Amino acid sequence: MTMQSRSLKKHLRIEALARRDALDEFWRVEIALEMAETARDHLAVEPGQIVSGFWPMRSEVDVRPLMFALREQGARLCLPAILDKTTIVFRELVRGAPMVEMGFGTVGPHEEAEVLDPTVMLVPLAAFDARGHRIGYGAGYYDRAIAKLIDKGQAPRLIGIAFDCQEVALVPDEDHDVVIAEILTESGLRRFAPKL
């Protein structure tokens, strides 16, 4: 990544997150519930299909209602667990099982929980563009986790989760970019053409 590209991504991330932080917290709760209804109607999953969500931090979309809507359809849920500074795995989220601090203000299932390979991933993001390119938080956890699944011959369905205000004009392209084929916002589910 060039310094210019890195600098632009950092700038776009800061601006998008500032817009997200400025959203009314009560409105965000209502939107999380509406997005769960959208998911129920438009994100069909097969019984037993493994869906990774995430425990919301700061002003992120609270995907817990959405995850529970998918659980009602029969999905097995999992959450990311940070193993070290470069690696996350996805541990099964089971009712009543212990949760532990994961850092960054988030929690995840205890280390005794089963590690799963998701076939559907709800992906947090800082910013996105109209092509489905995303800017994460800069640590690269999801990029590496997705690449690892692809290396294993699995191509999970990727669904970015964001608010409309996080859209930017253009995310700088990089060769290793994973295009998010679908992004769910308060405006609904948007689908993007695959990268050619």
Residue 110 marked in a binding site: no
Q: Is 31 annotated as a binding residue?
A: no
Both structure tokens of 182: 């679908």
| Helix boundaries (H) for 22-166 | 25-42, 64-72, 141-151
Q: Is 140 annotated as a binding residue?
A: yes
Report whether 132 belongs to an annotated binding site: no
20 labelled ligand-binding: no
Would you say 105 is a known binding-site residue?
no
The token pair at 127 is 């910013």
138 is in an annotated binding site: yes
Residue 160 annotated as binding site:
no
183 is in an annotated binding site: no
Q: Is 195 annotated as a binding residue?
A: no
According to DSSP, the β-strands at 134-135 and 182-185 are: unpaired
Was 9 annotated as part of a binding site?
yes
Q: Residue 75 — φ and ψ, nearest 5°?
A: -70, 145
34 is in an annotated binding site: no
For residues 113 and 94, the answer to whether their CB atoms sit within 8 Å is yes
Residue 125 among known ligand-binding residues: no
Residue positions in the annotated binding site for ATP? 9-13, 134-142
Residue positions in the annotated binding site? 9-13, 60, 134-142
Residue positions in the annotated binding site for substrate? 60
